[in-house]
Amino acid sequence: MGDIKITAGGSRAIRYRQIHHKYFRSGQHVALSPSARSSVYYGKPTMILAAFWLMATAALSYFIIHKFVLSALFVPDLGNKPVLITGCGGGFGKALVIRCLRHGMTVFAGCRRAVSVDELRLECRGLAGTLYAFQMDVANDESVAAAKAFVEAKLTQSGCGLFALVNNAGIRGTHMYDDLLTMDDYKSVWETNTFGCIRVTRAFKPLLKRARGRVVICGSSCTLFTIPSYGPYATSKAAVSAYADVIRQAVDYFKYCQQHELAPFGVKVILIVPGSFESGMQDTNRLLRMLQEKWDSCEETVRKEYGEHFINRAKTFVVQFQERGISKDVKWVEDTYFHAVAAKYPKPSYRIGWDTILFFHPYSLLPLQIQIAVMGLILWIVAAPVPAAARTSPEP
């Protein structure tokens, strides 16, 4: 950008000539203050800096307003806002059912086992809201269709749609290195965690559109920080995270925002990404039994390749992680689930847990080569199990 040369030309007006600048032409007159008559300079760095500060100020203002004002607002008249929750036999699902009932909501609670239905009804007896607990297997088309017919009949009687669907049902599956897994190990987890979520969401979408409601999907921090042996579970959660992004497209905060999928119908899609919390799927004895059963079912060639030291170290690693890496305080998760259901302005995505916020998420933003180096260092520090055929030193 060229300089602006100043020439005298009257009491208030001066004549200038712009060099190498397409926006100014010789012969124009402007009025300048006395202090500005000596020199004038328009610089790109100054404009870029001003734009940066403008964007930073806008982002900070939005964060403060959303964090301390909008997020504190809840949907009025929750008693007329029905919610369907899957996976209510225990853990986060059961806790959310109880929280919603205490706020007077109508809750449709799906449980995979019939005994869980009876236990839930007994535990929720006397709470303010209305509970409809029923058996529902998200991995079964007929079961989901029957659940939809039941929910739709109840909502037709009340004359309203479905305000929220919480896809909470999920299984952990087998945690073992890929060499020791089968395709069935992957399929069983995907059938519940991935296809179950998609199956239920597609079935209840018409009811959600009617109420301009919301879909809540439970993801996992293992999609941000993937460790060995989490193949079936991590891939299933990565898939539902992508599914949430696809059908969200986009949350309409501004009328000029381009919209696709569920957004034009006023349906919000919310992804919850919890860290390492006790969810009812981390029973240590069950995990140890699962490891041993998977080891015993492997081919002899695979067991020789990995060695007995591998499975013994894997069991020790599981016990240590269960004792030190799992948070027993799940109130943060329960509060987030309810906020996603009942808040007037829910976030498109929630990351829960200090491990997720301070480590897993920043780690996911690193270049891949640095991620690989960091993961290698971590596995070395925790003495993760190494196959016998890959060890360069004898067993300790």
Question: Average of pLDDT values for 109-136?
Answer: 95
63-77, 136-150, 157-171: range with lowest mean pLDDT: 63-77
Split at pLDDT 50, 70, 90, the class of 254 is very low
Question: Average of pLDDT values for 262-285?
Answer: 85
pLDDT at 35: 52
Does the structure show a pLDDT above 80 at 24? no
What is the per-residue pLDDT across 192-217, written as a single tens digit (0 to 9) for each? 999 999 999 999 999 999 999 999 99
Q: What angle do CA 386, 387, 391 make, to 5 degrees?
A: 75
pLDDT at 394: 58
Does the structure show a pLDDT above 90 at 274? yes
Q: What is the CA radius of gyration of the chain?
A: 29
pLDDT at 259: 55
More confident residue, 174 or 71: 174
More confident residue, 289 or 59: 289
What is the per-residue pLDDT across 73-94, written as a single tens digit (0 to 9) for each? 888 999 999 999 999 999 999 9
Does the structure show a pLDDT above 50 at 50? yes
Smallest Cα–Cα separation from 223: which of 47, 364, 40, 96?
A: 364
Does the structure show a pLDDT above 90 at 285? no
pLDDT at 250: 54
pLDDT at 128: 92
Split at pLDDT 50, 70, 90, the class of 143 is very high
pLDDT at 52: 79
> Please, what is the end-to-end C-alpha distance for the chain in angstroms?
69
More confident residue, 254 or 188: 188
- Which helix (H) or strand (E) segment holds residue 299: the answer is none
More confident residue, 195 or 39: 195
Split at pLDDT 50, 70, 90, the class of 51 is confident
Does the structure show a pLDDT above 80 at 66? no
Split at pLDDT 50, 70, 90, the class of 6 is very low
- What is the average pLDDT value for the chain, to the nearest integer? 84
DSSP class per residue in 212-252: T-EEEEE--GGGTS--TT-HHHHHHHHHHHHHHHHHH----
pLDDT at 74: 83
Split at pLDDT 50, 70, 90, the class of 369 is very high
Does the structure show a pLDDT above 60 at 256? no
pLDDT at 295: 92
pLDDT at 283: 75
Structure token digits, residue 13: 């007006």
Question: Average of pLDDT values for 13-41?
Answer: 47
Residues 206 and 172: beta-carbon distance below 8 Å: no
Distance, CA of 236 to CA of 230 (rounded, Å): 10
Question: Average of pLDDT values for 53-66?
Answer: 79
What contacts 146, CB < 8 A, 6 or more positions away?
136
Split at pLDDT 50, 70, 90, the class of 327 is confident
Question: Average of pLDDT values for 169-187?
Answer: 92
Does the structure show a pLDDT above 50 at 282? yes
Smallest Cα–Cα separation from 41: which of 24, 55, 54, 27?
A: 24
